[in-house]
Structure formats: C-alpha cells, structure tokens
Copies of this chain bind each other. A is one copy, B any other.
Amino acid sequence: MPHRPKTMVAIRKLHDSPGLDLVEDTPFPRIGPRDVLVQVTHAGICGTDRHIYEWDAWSKSRVRVGITTGHEFVGRVAAIGPAVRRAEVGQRVCAEGHIGCGMCEPCRTGNAHICEKVDILGIDCDGCFAQFISVPEENIWPVHQAVPDEVAAIFDPLGNAVHTVMAAGVSGRSVLITGVGIIGLMAVTVARAAGAGCILATDINPKRLELARRLGADETYAADDPDWPTKARRATHDQGPQVLLEMSGHPTAIRQGFEALRNGGTAALLGLPSAPVSIDLPNHIIFKGATVLGINGRRMYETWYQVENFVLSGRLDLEPIITHRLDLRDFERGFKLMQSGEAIKVVLTVPQEDAAPCPTPTSTTAVATSSRR
C-alpha cells in the first residue's frame, strides 16, 4: 500500500505550558479489531478545549501531554476493524466522547458516563482535532441524513444540555438556568422544546442574555443584579422556579439558585466549580425538600436518542449558537474569539484534500500498542 498516507494534520498538546500545536505530520491513528477510523470533516471547540489551550490548573492535573485534542466532531467512516458490526465505510457518524471500560455496572446499565475508569477523547487519548480519529465502534453514532454537519458536530455538548434538561424534568414546570454559556444557551432551546413553562436565565454577559431571550427565555437577569432572585420569584407566581439548571459553576450562582428554588423543586448541577462550595444544607436543600442531581456527560445511549429526536423535530434553534466557522489550521483564532466572548460555538472545518479517501486499517497486531484499553 505505497499510496497510504503516513501522516496527517492534527492539533496537539505537546508541552506542559499554555497553547496547542498544529502538527502537520501527526502519525496516522491505528485501529483495533472493534474500532472505527473516522475521517473528520467538522469539529466543535468545547470549553474544555479552551481550558486545555489555556493550560489551567485542572488541565495540568488531568490531561495527558502528547495527545491530540478535541472531542466534538462529525465525519465519514474511513475504515473499520475486523470485528466491527455497527459501522460501515462511508457512513456519516459522530461519536460519544466518553469511552467506558465496558465491564462495570454503569457501563452495562446505560450509565457508562459514570464508569469509574472512563477515558475521554482529547483528554485521555487522541481526539478529533485531526484529519482522522480512531473510536471504539460502541461510541459511534450514525448521523441521520436530515441533520446538517455543523449540528452533528456538536451532538456531544448538545447532549449535555439534553441530559440536564431531561433528567431534571421540565415539562410544564418553571425553569431557572444560571449561566448561559454554550451549554446553558443550548439548554434554553432544549427546555423550550421539552415543554418548560416559564424559562428564566442569568449570566454576567448581556449579549448572551439577549441570545437566551431569542432562544426562548421569558426573562433574563444580570447575574450581578442583587434583585434578580426577587424578580425570579415574582416571575413564578411568588413561589420560585420549580427547576434549577446550574450551568455556571459559580459559587454565588449556585447559592442564589438554591435560594430561588421552590420548595420541593429539582436542581440539576452541570457547571463545575473550581473549588468546594459552601452550602447551607438545611435551608437550601433539606427544609426545601429539594432534589439535587449531579449531571455529567450523556446517558449512553438514551440521551443520544433524545438529542436526535429533538433535532429531527425541528423544534430546536441551534443556528444562533454556532457563531463562527473556521479552518482547522485557524484554530488559534477560534480560541481567541472564545476568550474575547465574541464567539459562542466555533466549528472547525477539517481539510480533506491531503487525506487518502479510504485508508486501510492497521493490522490487528497494532492494537496491542494502542493507548486505549
């Protein structure tokens, strides 16, 4: 196979310091017998990628130096391992980024997102900011023909929003979303489609609040307006919202969110505070009779079916959330746009020209050297 490409373009984390590197001659990924090789066409930049780019405390402690970053993508199946059943070459696919061990109780009961040994694409193993990626077939999601590439590329973060909204249960209930970053904004349109009653949102960024209203929020509040909890209560028949979707990770928002929550309400926590948070358990949880749900990732694969159903229903408005399209090689600009607050979701277009149309999988013996179990 003399014409097979030996290398590809990829964005990698090569040094224990801020920044990412564009590496033109990244070695081609190897696939095992149950893996699928995907030629990536579009990839979304996640807030997590920005943490890795900025190399903050969390990234330093968690991310493996040397990996290719990125975990939100869509592409075409370029090759499959010999034992693969769920994918075929040429198929358009995206993928769940959490790779469960496959053996434990969570993995075998639809909860691989809370597998204790979970690996995450672009964090623990090579990700999708590259022309090709190797993914276990278990994680592959076939993309319905009616779904545009850009939307398929962000099924993963959209799945975070859907998981949160559906776990909390918003149908016919008033909802407060604290923090309308990318996933918070997605949660607004998902909550609207899922039948929420009144939707309220807080954020420090007025542009995002404006966008939240456009996506279906009934009222929005500046997070630093000391009166917002009072206003939120007034907007909900003086009882407070029945559901809190916490998407900021900010201690004040968490505290105020619990304070605003109606007695008997449900709080779904997705935002990640960077330090332990002091919580008034008696007044904010116990006497309230509140239900608090920890949310991460997506249920496998219940959430994915929900995501697909919402997208195909035509009831989600994702267009205003995807604010920028850039070439993969222009990734630096993507991160700068996110840092400035100008961009919400940036989708990278991956160059197709250099890659072979249908690369041959590596042999089975190659599997042993794969970094993934």
Contacts and interface: CB of A to CB of B under 8 A. Distances in A.
Which DSSP category, helix, strand, loop or mixed, fits chain A's interface?
loop
A83 B32 CA distance: 9
B197 A172 contact: no
A290 interface: yes
A294 B276 CA distance: 19
A364 interface: yes
A86 interface: yes
A278 interface: yes
A172 B198 contact: no
A287 B276 contact: no
A33 B83 contact: yes
A309 B198 CA distance: 9
A103 B83 contact: no
Interface stretch (A23-31, A106-114, A317-325, A343-351): A106-114
A114 B83 contact: no
Given A83-B83, A102-B86, A280-B276, A289 B111 contact: yes
Interface stretch (A12-20, A49-57, A205-213, A262-270): A262-270
Interface string A45-76: 00000000000000000000000000000000
B106 A172 contact: no
Interface stretch (A180-188, A222-230, A299-307): A299-307
A302 B276 CA distance: 33
Contacts of A85: 34, 102-103
B272 A282 contact: yes
A81 to B, nearest CB: 8
Interface in A177-200: 193-198
Interface string A295-317: 11001111011100110110100
Contacts of A312: 237
A193 B173 CA distance: 11
Contact of A113 (B113, B289, B290, B306): B289
A27 B241 CA distance: 44
A343 B315 CA distance: 32
7 contacts: A105-B305, A115-B263, A171-B171, A172-B193, A272-B281, A277-B281, A279-B279
